[in-house]
């Protein structure tokens, strides 16, 4: 039985927010377990990302297969996206039948608008945590990723890779996640120490 991972795209999506998790799930489905399928979904087939990357989505909201894992990235486009009824409606519909509903960065705002963060702990990019905390019904925490019920949210941008590996480990087992991590040679060692930022 196929496990479907649906990656949602929208205008001004942050590229690494979706490409990092896509690589994790995609590498696993290509080389380790072919019963997994990873695909992109958008309102319109052509999507331009925040940095300028042009992407052609595999499916539209009208013809996408059911999702077992729904992944909602962030980016500047989430601000307008929160008022896009087609986008929020798809997230609500697809997430209702998914085993796990996930977000990266400010994708948490779209999950909240779709009703998935009510009564949940969640995280987002450090620069947007205060803004998310102002939304009703959600408890915001400063963590790399947060798992609450069937909702898993990640902090900013690169945190989506960690979150995807975590979800993969929960669903397919830690060894599967370790093998995938080895395949993509994910062993973060940034050349410069991070500058301390305000909490």
Catalytic residue numbers, as ranges: 105
The alpha carbon dihedral of 1, 145, 121, 39 has a sign of: negative
Query: What gap in Å lies between CA 16 and CA 20, rounded to an integer?
Result: 5
The owner of tokens 């990235």 is 73
**CB-side neighbour CA atoms (13 Å) of 76:** 7
């Amino acid at each position: 039985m196929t496990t479907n991972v649906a990656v949602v795209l929208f205008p001004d999506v942050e590229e690494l927010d979706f490409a990092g998790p896509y690589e994790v799930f995609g590498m696993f489905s290509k080389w380790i377990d072919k019963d997994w399928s990873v695909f992109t979904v958008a309102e319109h087939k052509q999507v331009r990302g925040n940095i300028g990357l042009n992407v052609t989505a595999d499916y539209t909201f009208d013809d996408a297969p059911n999702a077992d894992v729904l992944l909602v990235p962030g980016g500047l486009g989430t601000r307008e996206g929160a008022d896009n009824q087609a986008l929020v409606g798809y997230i609500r519909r697809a997430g209702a039948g998914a085993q796990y509903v996930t977000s990266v960065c400010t994708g948490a705002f779209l999950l909240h608008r779709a009703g998935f963060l009510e009564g949940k702990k969640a995280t987002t990019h450090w620069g947007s945590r205060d803004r998310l905390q102002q939304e009703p019904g959600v408890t915001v925490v400063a963590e790399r990723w947060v798992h609450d019920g069937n909702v898993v949210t990640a902090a900013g941008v690169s945190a989506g890779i960690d979150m995807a590996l975590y979800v993969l480990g929960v669903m397919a087992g830690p060894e599967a996640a370790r093998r995938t991590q080895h395949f993509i040679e994910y062993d973060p060692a940034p050349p410069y120490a991070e500058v301390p930022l305000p909490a």
